[in-house]
Structure 1
Amino acid sequence: MSDLPRLSLALNSPATTSALRLLVLSNGHGEDVIAVRILQELQQLSNPPDIFALPIVGEGHAYQQLNIPLIGSVQIMPSGGFIYMDGRQLVRDVRGGLVQLTRSQIKAVRTWVNLQKKSGNKSAILAVGDIVPLLFAWGSGADYAFIGTAKSEYYVRDEVGLLQRKSKAARWESFSGSVYHPWERWLMSRPHCKAIFPRDSLTTEILTKWSIPAFDLGNPMMDGLEPSFPQGRLYRGDAEQQEIIRPLIVTLLPGSRPPEAYANWEQIMVAVSSLMEIPKRDYLSRTESMVFLGAIASSLDLNILSQSLLSQGWHLHSESPVQIYDINALTFKLKNAYIILTQQAYNDCLHLGDLAIAMAGTATEQFIGLGKPAIAIPGNGPQYNPVFAEAQSRHLGSSLILVEQAAQVGQVVRSLFNDPDKLQAIADNGLRRMGKPGAARRIAECLLDKLG
């Protein structure tokens, strides 16, 4: 779709009583999802803005679910947005039309802003992601706000001080006193920048040292994760007895991008086997049975994962040992262990799991944000490769345990569950780094106040 029809749609959309027209810029699927969570809350407020969007990466399907009009050209690049992982991905994107697409999108943003001015509409921009949408917003000449999803001070420091790094090149990440570089802070401190929403309290604290309008309102990634069952169900009066007799539940997070996720699944199954080989009585007072909950994205083919299980000796089983909200879930059994594959009960998988075996981005962070440990196995990418996994482990601290080989997972779990103090520290750490639910509503209210 060319820019002209989209811009005409943006200009000629039905008028409302709103005093503000808001253009949302985001650069990735995860960023789109975070933006949409906030936009849903904005739409629930009195006198909400008229909302438009331009996904800089991908096709913006999340926006289409809310019927939010797109104002410019969109295109899926070969890298899927992971060009910072590998220079070769950038070369592929350039050959795939990245430069032309970027020029077109910059023009679309400026044209949209100018059209609003000529029509007498008050307009503003919400940038979600990293420096790319932030640059777009600054270059538009309109007022703007920024939700920084890509960076956290936890990548380079914790509450005590800077992290010890093996590579000298790693010092570049915080050479100026923050994970956000001087040019990024300059963009955040311009007069047209009305609000910055960092990922966590530590990042907010650092940014405010430069008179940046940063607000510590939480991380929208932790919103909308309520399970299908009452959360009090996990804490009944006979909780201690129930804890003794219930099985160990492990959530499996292979990621969402094919074909990478299928390769991740094979690594995760090696980890599952290593865990099944460790006698549970060595480290748990629970029953011998184990349950693995596979949280499978809708973008993946369950048949491929099912065939993988059948080829390894698992067989379909008619009954599920735990209740999840998905009548189409598939249950497999091998010895005293069960694997449940679900594409509809993601939240239940997060809440029921005692720990996770993870090779995913957002899903891993959300699991840890619930106060639980995750064990990660670096894959071959393009997303969940050793570079990404190492950076994620710095961001999430003690809550994410990296192993070099999938076969090591069993021993790591045995050691972990023999250390109650470490488990408590992990719980506190996860809640602190990912924040409390409700951030989307708080950000929406602040946006309307600062931009409207």
Structure 2
Amino acid sequence: MRVTLLSNGHGEDTVGATLGEALRSLAPELALQAFPTVDAGEAYERLGVPILGPRRVMPSGGLTAHTLAALLADLRAGFLSMTAAQVRALRRLETDALVVIGDLYALLLSSAVRTRSRFYVQTLVSSYHAGGRSLNRYFMERFSLPERALIRRLVRHTYVRDAPTAALLARYGLPASALGNPMLDPLTAPPEADLALGVPLTPPVVALLPGTRRYAPAALERMLGALERWPEATGLVAWANGALPTLPGWRLEPVGPGWRVVRSATSAHPPRVYLLQHRFAEVLRASQLALGTSGTAHEQAAALGLPVVAFALPPDYTPAFLANQARLLGAALTLAAANPAALAEALQRLWGDPERYRRASEAGRARMGAPGGGEAIARDILRRLAATEPSH
């Protein structure tokens, strides 16, 4: 049986790879393939899953609908021609089952595929998002009428991130399950001792999460400035944006499996900051706080009990996006101004107030749920594929 994983984003690709790994473990006879529509599909490549379709990372990094500037940049970069090419490829796609990981956009693209079984892993919308009023985020924060219509017409079963959201879909007459959060599964591996950096990592350790999009180097510069103002802390950069960043006024010195980030000029309080690639889970496990401009990575950090401090970096990383994330994560997320002094103050206040730290830590764990969702969803998909049910 051929199963295709279709996903629309970096975090969605990671979830898709988690599901693919679980499906392969439970049913080695399956022929797995992937169709990433937004990101380059590196998570699938690391898993050794064949990748289909045209791939081109747009300037917005998948944030096309977030701002007018992002939309215009992607249109200039060929977004429409790439989408048309993807639709043509999807119409030619042959697959027995299709697992769609993402949101309305991914589900809409998947409608071009003829398949006997289609499953939907909705990674974005949660009932915790209720209360947002931003018009351009309407389709990103709610199960809109078009999305519900597509689910009703195309999908055998939907998997959502939490029980309140499954209950919401049930009220619409759409069967859904909350079987755990697959984005947490890659975080279950224990860290290697001290990340092999050769230095003790004594608290407070701050995970620096600049994200995977083009603004990541600029965001990281502000984070480094924040840690300069808190010399007692150690920073661990989880760098997932391809080539090593060029940071004006800073240089990277190799150390162990990573690099130490060092001020080019003499500094009265040089921060202890280390940059690592492909060590995301270990960075989070070694940290007590997180500072970032990310999406999925913030949610993963909160799930491990790390209070997260975040700041907007328009036009790409907007206040509207952060307001949405704040509704999702509740007390686990603290919003601060995008300047090093304010960021340092927000981190220090969290660390220096044990009761506030505890509330933030508990909120993140409660909102994000438990790991194990990848295997649970994979088992449920295999069970439904083995059963005799109407096809779509």
Q: Give the TM bin, normalised by the shorter chain.
A: 0.7 to 0.9
Match of 1:255 in 2: 211
CA distance in 2 between counterparts of 1:51 and 1:171 reads: 35
Gaps of 5+ in 2: 195-200, 387-392
Q: Percent identity?
A: 30
Q: Which moved more, 1:414-423 or 1:330-339?
A: 330-339
1:150 corresponds to which letter in structure 2?
Answer: L
Taking a change above 3 Å as real, the CA distance of residues 228 and 193 of structure 1, as seen in their structure-2 partners, is same
Match of 2:145 in 1: 182
Match of 1:201 in 2: 163
Taking a change above 3 Å as real, the CA distance of residues 415 and 296 of structure 1, as seen in their structure-2 partners, is same
CA distance in 2 between counterparts of 1:338 and 1:75 reads: 36
Match of 2:384 in 1: 450
- How far 1:403 moved relative to its partner? 0.8
Match of 2:103 in 1: 130
Matched, 1:274 2:229: yes
CA distance in 2 between counterparts of 1:316 and 1:74 reads: 33
Is the Cα contact below 8 Å between 2:126 and 2:161 reproduced in 1?
A: yes
2:143 corresponds to which letter in structure 1?
Answer: Y
- How far 1:344 moved relative to its partner? 4.5
Gaps of 5+ in 1: 1-19, 117-122, 157-162, 232-244, 277-288, 319-325
- 1:227 maps to which of 154, 175, 190: 190
Determine which structure has more spread, i.e. the larger CA radius of gyration: 1
Match of 2:77 in 1: 96
Is the Cα contact below 8 Å between 1:189 and 1:212 reproduced in 2?
A: yes
| SS of aligned partner of 2:249 | helix
Q: How does 1:27-38 map to 2 (within 5 A)?
A: 27-38=8-19
The TM-score with structure 2 as length reference comes to 0.84
Is the Cα contact below 8 Å between 1:204 and 1:214 reproduced in 2?
A: yes
Taking a change above 3 Å as real, the CA distance of residues 338 and 186 of structure 1, as seen in their structure-2 partners, is same
CA distance in 2 between counterparts of 1:274 and 1:73 reads: 45
- How far 1:373 moved relative to its partner? 0.5
- How far 1:399 moved relative to its partner? 0.6
- How far 1:78 moved relative to its partner? 3.4
Is the Cα contact below 8 Å between 1:126 and 1:137 reproduced in 2?
A: no
What CA deviation, in whole Å up to 9, does each residue of 1:144-194 have, x standing for no partner? 0011122222222xxxxxx4x6x5x569849xxx8211221122223x521
CA distance in 2 between counterparts of 1:441 and 1:379 reads: 36
CA distance in 1 between counterparts of 2:237 and 2:76 reads: 37
Matched, 1:424 2:358: yes
| SS of aligned partner of 2:236 | strand
2:350 corresponds to which letter in structure 1?
Answer: L
- How far 1:76 moved relative to its partner? 3.0
Taking a change above 3 Å as real, the CA distance of residues 222 and 58 of structure 1, as seen in their structure-2 partners, is closer
Match of 2:118 in 1: 144
Q: How does 1:263-412 map to 2 (within 5 A)?
A: 263-276=218-231, 289-297=232-240, 299-301=242-244, 304-305=246-247, 308-309=249-250, 326-330=256-260, 335=269, 338-382=272-316, 384-406=317-339, 407-412=341-346
Matched, 1:26 2:7: yes
| SS of aligned partner of 1:128 | strand
Is the Cα contact below 8 Å between 2:191 and 2:285 reproduced in 1?
A: no
| SS of aligned partner of 2:58 | coil
Matched, 1:440 2:374: yes
CA distance in 2 between counterparts of 1:212 and 1:363 reads: 29
Taking a change above 3 Å as real, the CA distance of residues 446 and 170 of structure 1, as seen in their structure-2 partners, is same
How big is the alpha-carbon RMSD for the aligned residues of Structure 1 and Structure 2? 3.0
- How far 1:371 moved relative to its partner? 1.1
- How far 1:38 moved relative to its partner? 0.6
Taking a change above 3 Å as real, the CA distance of residues 262 and 71 of structure 1, as seen in their structure-2 partners, is closer
| SS of aligned partner of 2:35 | strand
CA distance in 1 between counterparts of 2:6 and 2:103 reads: 10
What CA deviation, in whole Å up to 9, does each residue of 1:192-236 have, x standing for no partner? 5211111222212211212212111122111121232489xxxxx
The TM-score with structure 1 as length reference comes to 0.73
What CA deviation, in whole Å up to 9, does each residue of 1:280-329 have, x standing for no partner? xxxxxxxxx43222222361425x34x6346xxxx9798xxxxxxx5444
- How far 1:339 moved relative to its partner? 2.0
CA distance in 1 between counterparts of 2:165 and 2:64 reads: 24
- How far 1:268 moved relative to its partner? 1.1
Q: How many aligned residue pairs are there?
A: 372
Is the Cα contact below 8 Å between 1:290 and 1:336 reproduced in 2?
A: no
CA distance in 2 between counterparts of 1:395 and 1:433 reads: 7
- How far 1:444 moved relative to its partner? 0.9
CA distance in 2 between counterparts of 1:93 and 1:205 reads: 36
Is the Cα contact below 8 Å between 1:355 and 1:374 reproduced in 2?
A: yes
Taking a change above 3 Å as real, the CA distance of residues 327 and 100 of structure 1, as seen in their structure-2 partners, is closer
Q: Which moved more, 1:415-424 or 1:428-437?
A: 415-424
CA distance in 1 between counterparts of 2:274 and 2:45 reads: 31
Is the Cα contact below 8 Å between 1:189 and 1:213 reproduced in 2?
A: no
- How far 1:350 moved relative to its partner? 0.6
1:194 corresponds to which letter in structure 2?
Answer: R
Taking a change above 3 Å as real, the CA distance of residues 246 and 267 of structure 1, as seen in their structure-2 partners, is closer
Q: How does 1:37-48 map to 2 (within 5 A)?
A: 37-46=18-27, 48=29
- How far 1:126 moved relative to its partner? 1.0
- How far 1:62 moved relative to its partner? 3.0
Taking a change above 3 Å as real, the CA distance of residues 409 and 214 of structure 1, as seen in their structure-2 partners, is same
- How far 1:343 moved relative to its partner? 2.3
| SS of aligned partner of 1:401 | strand
